[in-house]
Amino acid sequence: MSPTPLSELGEFGLIQRIKSNAPPYLVDTLIGIGDDAAVLNLGNKDLILTTDMLIEGVHFDIRYAPLHTVGYKAVSVNVSDCCAMNVFPSHILVSMAVSSKYSLEAIDAIYDGIFKGCKRYKIDLIGGDTNTAIKGLTLSITCLGYANKGQVVLRSGAQVNDIICVSGNLGAAYAGLLLLEREKKIFLENSNIQPDLSTYPYIIERQLKPEARVDLIQFFNEKNIMPTAMMDISDGLANALIELCSASDKGCMLFEDHLPIHAETKQFLEEVYIAPFIAALNGGEDYELLFTLNPSDFDKVKTDNRITPIGYITPSNQNKKIRLSNSKEVDLEMKGYNAFGK
């Protein structure tokens, strides 16, 4: 028998396989594999834990990403998974594997970004690990946060008729990536042509230096709003919504016309002949929050311009659908980022 390529399972399938072989032995493991973070019972509190890696050549390209942004982004993507549980982050551990092409100054620049992230999100760096790498740089961050009992929001709590909401806008980070890749290609073909990035500052910032939505966790806290289900959007809205609905055992109806897309994202994508809603659905790295609200809680957010209602939850016997601008209804598909390309 020949070995099975990982692309046969895909990233999602591989994680499912690992999960099925990892029964929790301990009673304090409240939530293990499968949500944005794990949840442990501390008695009168819960502890949440999450980890995410950034790998050079896979997640970032130092030919256009300033090193401080790589450090900041590594912090933001972890904090984002904490926010996705409705919890403020408190501490991080940073592990790095670094090859000899990196100087002390380069590592200082990366840590400048990490420390900026710590200051911005009010978290403490409390440890990590440092190793040599054969090639490139890998940054792996673990983030933890404390929650009051009943505060944690899982992916699995969505109820029929809940309003599906999203924070900020979608597709901007993907548009930024396309722009940076295009300018890199032009520069590599002719180094006399300097990249012109000044026309599209917003989408570049969204790609290089994403912000985790701690502001919304604050808002939910202050207004006593409890999303019924939540996750962050790291691999596209369609992937996230399919995962949230599957975890909740529900269907959904999403509306193309309601998807929030920034004017700059639209302008750039139209320039490169990509339909903006495709980027909003499948483009990765938005790090916005996708959440569902009971209609009574929705009244508390409907005037907040950071939050857009984009659809509603349907019973489990209905598919996960999107109604397009032309009124056709089609099934949502998982076309966003997948580490093993399936």
Q: Return residues touching Mg ion (CB under 5 A).
A: 36, 81, 232
Q: Which residues pair with 200 in a beta bridge?
A: none
Q: Is there a contact between 153 and 86 (Cβ–Cβ < 8 Å)?
A: yes
Strands 307-314 and 329-331: unpaired
Q: In this chain, which stretch among 31-39, 57-65, 124-132, 282-290 interacts with ligand ADP, using CB under 6 A?
A: 31-39
Q: Compute the half-sphere exposure of residue 39: CA atoms within 13 Å on the CB side of its CA.
A: 22
Closer to ligand ADP by Cβ: residue 35 or 211: 35
In the complex, the smallest distance separating the C-beta of residue 36 from ligand ADP, rounded to whole angstroms, is 4
Question: Minimum distance between the CB of residue 131 and Mg ion, rounded to whole angstroms?
Answer: 26
Q: Where are the beta strands (DSSP E) in the chain?
A: 29-31, 38-41, 45-55, 91-98, 124-132, 137-148, 163-167, 229-233, 251-255, 288-293, 307-314, 320-323, 329-331
Tell whether residue 288 is a contact of ligand ADP (CB under 6 A): no
Q: Which is nearer to ligand ADP, 12 or 200 (CB)?
A: 12
Whichever of 113 and 284 has its CB closer to ligand ADP, that residue is 284
> How is 83-106 classified by DSSP, letter by letter?
HTTT----EEEEEEEE-TT--HHH
By CB under 6 A, the residues from 57 to 116 that bind ligand ADP are 81
**From candidates 46, 48, 52, 171, binder to ligand ADP by CB under 6 A:** 52
Residue 264 binding: pick among ligand ADP, Mg ion, none (C-beta 5-8 Å cut-off by kind)? none
Q: Is 309 in the site for ligand ADP (CB under 6 A)?
A: no
Q: Which DSSP symbol is given to 257? A: G
Which partner in Mg ion, ligand ADP, none is near 256 (CB below 5 to 8 A by kind)?
none
Q: Provide the minimum distance between the beta carbon of 78 and ligand ADP in the complex, in angstroms, as a whole number.
A: 9
Does 34 help bind ligand ADP (rule: CB under 6 A)?
yes
Please, what is the minimum distance in Å from the beta carbon of residue 43 to ligand ADP? Answer: 23
Shortest Å distance, C-beta 18 to ligand ADP: 5
Q: Three-class SS of residue 311?
A: strand
> Is residue 18 a contact point for ligand ADP (CB under 6 A)?
yes
- Going by C-beta distance under 8 Å and a sequence separation of 6 or more, which residues neighbour residue 236? 281, 282, 283, 284, 286, 335, 336, 337
285 binds ligand ADP (CB under 6 A): no
The Cα–Cα gap between 228 and 163 comes to 10
* Residue window 211-250: x/- pattern of binding to ligand ADP, with contact defined by CB under 6 A: -----------------------x----------------
**CA–CA gap between residue 175 and residue 336 (Å, rounded):** 14
Instruction: Give, in order, the Cα–Cα distances in Å from 174 to each of 40, 120, 306.
Output: 34, 24, 20
Tell the smallest beta-carbon distance from residue 128 to ligand ADP (Å). Answer: 18
Q: Does 33 bind ligand ADP (CB under 6 A)?
A: yes
Nearer to ligand ADP, 67 or 85 (CB): 85
Nearer to ligand ADP, 228 or 234 (CB): 234
Residue 224 burial (C-beta neighbours within 10 Å; 0-12, 13-18, 19+): exposed
Q: How many residues bind ligand ADP (CB under 6 A)?
A: 9
Q: Comparing C-alpha atoms, which of 81, 82, 35, 83 is closest to residue 217?
A: 83
- Judged by DSSP in three states, 263 sits in helix
Interaction of residue 46 with ligand ADP, rule CB under 6 A = no
Interface residues with ligand ADP (CB under 6 A)?
15, 18, 33-36, 52, 81, 234
